[in-house]
């Protein structure tokens, strides 16, 4: 019986291999690895294939949202053409190829009128976010990967519950994987007050969680269609440096007012209407669609593109934009990331820039939140320094996801430099073309450098045999 089952799995796996060869665009090395894995470890290989290689269904098309987005695209593309041809905005002209790439490859609108606030300290971000929530008049839309059952998380939910009880439409999506240890009872009061709470990619059965690998890593808040938040911070005390094992905690988050808020709202509504299966709620949202898009309340010129990505698409949109950004650099590239586990395309792009005379700097943390991931990250440090890339180790936990090019343009969002963010998670980033805002970002980064250690030969030579062995094994 056991032999029969193993042979049956082998037959199924051969079909999967044929599917990979003819219907999936796979890297030849990855294809070979999967083929050997499926043939020689058939049962385990089949299970891991289902968890890792099975792609979630694409987000369904919603006619009303598609039509609304098309109207926005028409409006903003007219502005785009005017902005590109104008001599008033030399920065857009200088990085025109990156702007056009995001427009053509990622179908991303360029918005011109935005005001941005940068938060690197969670307490400051929470204070402003909580104040904005208190002032909400008609809608609060939220996606978070993690909401902790602690002071920060409970305060956040208390405010949402209060607004829901006042008649404000509160819709919250939390990720089932990120909130795996968060007791679901903490959302009960919000639900009882009229808030809509949904669990992204919840398991169909407790033992059947085929979408477990595909996490919604986005952090989005949209208030009254007029104020938006995105970045790296979730909701929890640890982000305020209150976890003694991970302090100081450094992060990066944006508060946005202006045209780009509409794009965050569209992203939220697509995620929400895919997660929520209630047809009456769908009808209610779509009937009031224009109600969720507030008027633009700024004349401040700051160009932004919002790029989102996920495993429901065949393209790695954010990674492709990162690589295009690297090749757009004229003088310098600076990266802050908690995890540096790039694929070969990204790593080669970064090394090519460095060998071409571009000053490339990478900052990673000295404190690990996951030993396996951290050892994999440090395994790349020597390869980076050998390519004339400067590496700094932040003396604390660095959770920022920032790339700055030429001290003039930058991207901030939820995306880490690793294959999970590039291929598996649902992510979102803002690409910002504004030298005054980017100057503020650079100022914060230089301040972080005061709390860093520069990687040198002493660092490489001090690694023990155990550390070197772990790095080789994990990578």
Catalytic site includes residue 407:
no
Q: Which of 406, 418, 434, 448 is catalytic?
A: 406
Tell the burial category of 295 from Cβ atoms under 10 Å away from its Cβ (0-12, 13-18, 19+). exposed
Q: Which of 132, 175, 224, 434 is catalytic?
A: 224
Q: What is the pLDDT of residue 460?
A: 85
pTM: 0.89
Tell me the per-residue pLDDT of 91-128, one tens digit each, with 9 for 90 and over: 888 999 999 999 999 888 899 999 999 999 999 999 99
Q: Do residues 233 and 251 make contact, with C-beta atoms less than 8 angstroms apart?
A: yes
Q: Would you say residue 50 has pLDDT above 70?
A: no
In eight-state DSSP terms, residue 406 is: T
Tell me the per-residue pLDDT of 341-377, one tens digit each, with 9 for 90 and over: 999 999 999 999 999 999 999 999 999 888 899 999 9
Q: Which of 163, 401, 418, 448 is catalytic?
A: 401
Alpha-carbon distance of 413 to 217, in angstroms, equals 10
Q: How confident is the model at residue 438 (pLDDT cuts 50, 70, 90)?
A: very high
Q: What is the pLDDT of residue 418?
A: 95
Q: Which of 141, 163, 219, 324 is catalytic?
A: 219
Catalytic site includes residue 406:
yes
Q: Which of 125, 163, 319, 399 is catalytic?
A: 399
Q: What is the pLDDT of residue 405?
A: 98
Catalytic site includes residue 107:
no
Strand boundaries in 209-269, DSSP class E: 220-223, 227-231, 249-250, 253-258
Q: What is the pLDDT of residue 38?
A: 73
Tell me the per-residue pLDDT of 366-375, one tens digit each, with 9 for 90 and over: 998 888 999 9
Tell the burial category of 371 from Cβ atoms under 10 Å away from its Cβ (0-12, 13-18, 19+). exposed
Catalytic site includes residue 253:
no
Q: Is 141 helix (H, G, I), strand (E, B) or coil?
A: strand
HEC letters along 252-316: CEEEEEECHHHHHHHHHHHHHHHHCCCHHHHHHHHHCHHHHCCCCCCCCEEEEEEEEECCCCCCC
What are the residues whose beta carbons fall under 8 Å from the beta carbon of 456, sequence distance 6 or more?
Answer: none
Strand boundaries in 73-138, DSSP class E: 110-119
Catalytic site includes residue 401:
yes
Q: In which element (H, E) is residue 22 found?
A: helix 2-23
Catalytic site includes residue 219:
yes
Q: What is the pLDDT of residue 289?
A: 85
Residue with tokens 């990687």: 455
Q: How confident is the model at residue 56 (pLDDT cuts 50, 70, 90)?
A: low
């Amino acid at each position: 019986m056991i032999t029969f089952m193993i042979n049956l799995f082998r037959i199924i796996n051969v079909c999967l291999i044929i599917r990979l060869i003819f219907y999936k665009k796979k890297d030849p090395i990855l294809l070979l690895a999967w083929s050997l894995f499926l043939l020689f470890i058939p049962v385990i290989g089949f299970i891991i294939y289902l968890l890792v290689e099975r792609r979630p269904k694409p987000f369904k098309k919603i006619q009303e949202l598609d039509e609304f987005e098309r109207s926005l695209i028409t409006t903003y593309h007219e502005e785009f053409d005017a902005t590109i041809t104008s001599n008033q905005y030399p920065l857009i002209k200088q990085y025109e190829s990156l702007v056009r790439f995001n427009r053509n490859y990622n179908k991303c609108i360029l918005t011109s009128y935005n005001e941005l606030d940068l938060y690197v300290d969670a307490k400051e971000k929470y204070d402003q976010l909580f104040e904005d929530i208190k002032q909400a008049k008609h809608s609060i839309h939220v996606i978070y990967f993690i909401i902790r059952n602690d002071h920060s998380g409970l305060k956040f939910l208390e405010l949402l519950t209060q607004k829901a009880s006042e008649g404000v439409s509160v819709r919250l999506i939390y990720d089932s994987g990120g909130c795996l240890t968060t007791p679901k009872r903490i959302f009960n009061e919000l639900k009882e007050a009229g808030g809509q709470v949904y669990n992204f990619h919840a398991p169909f059965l407790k033992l059947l969680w085929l979408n477990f690998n595909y996490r919604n890593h986005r952090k989005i808040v949209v208030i009254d269609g007029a104020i938006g938040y995105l970045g790296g911070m979730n909701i929890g005390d640890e982000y305020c440096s209150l976890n003694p094992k991970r302090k100081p905690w450094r992060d990066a988050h944006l508060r946005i007012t202006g045209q780009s808020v509409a794009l965050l709202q569209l992203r939220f509504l697509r995620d929400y209407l895919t997660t929520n299966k209630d047809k009456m709620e769908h009808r209610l949202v779509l009937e009031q669609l224009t109600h969720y898009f507030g008027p633009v309340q700024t004349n401040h010129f700051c160009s932004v593109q919002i790029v989102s990505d996920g495993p429901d698409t065949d393209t790695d949109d954010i990674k492709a934009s990162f690589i295009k950004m690297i090749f757009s650099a004229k003088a310098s590239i600076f990266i802050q990331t908690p995890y540096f586990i790039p694929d070969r395309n990204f790593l080669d792009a970064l090394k090519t820039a460095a060998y071409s005379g571009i000053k490339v700097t990478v900052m990673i943390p000295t404190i690990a939140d996951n030993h396996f991931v951290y050892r994999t990250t440090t395994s790349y440090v020597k390869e980076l320094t050998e390519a004339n890339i400067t590496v700094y180790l932040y003396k604390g936990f660095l959770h920022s996801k920032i790339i700055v090019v030429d001290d003039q343009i930058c991207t901030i969002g939820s995306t880490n430099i690793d294959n999970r963010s590039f291929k598996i998670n649902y992510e979102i980033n803002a690409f910002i073309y504004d030298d005054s805002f980017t100057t503020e970002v650079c100022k914060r980064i230089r301040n972080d450098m005061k709390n860093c250690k520069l990687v040198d030969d002493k660092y490489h030579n001090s690694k023990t045999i155990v550390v070197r062995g772990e790095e080789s094994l994990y990578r």
